[in-house]
Amino acid sequence: MTLSTGGCDVDEELSWIREWFLRDQLSDGGLNCDPGTNLNSRRNSIVSSLPPLETLLRFTRPNYTKAEARFLDEGA
């Protein structure tokens, strides 16, 4: 939301971000910004999980790929 509020078109200016979110999703459906978490933990952080989910839901194109739809479903 911060990026969008500042005038950033997420799909246009940060096209790489979708793949980044999908790659770092943990087995419990969330994300964690702690370095190395994906290798050593299955615990997500609500603070790390909500912004990516909000970004895909509110500020990107609505025609999700199967992987993006799975990311949203597992993160819910």
pTM of the model: 0.69
Task: Give pLDDT < 50 ranges for the chain.
Answer: none
Q: Are 60 and 71 in contact (CB under 8 A)?
A: no
Q: Structural domain tally of the chain? A: 1
Residue 55: which domain range? 2-75
The 3-class SS string of the chain reads CHHHHCCCCHHHHCCCHHHHHHHCCCCCCCCCCCCCHHHHCCCCCHHHHHHHHHHHHHCCCCCCCHHHHHHHHHHC
Residue 50's pLDDT is what?
86
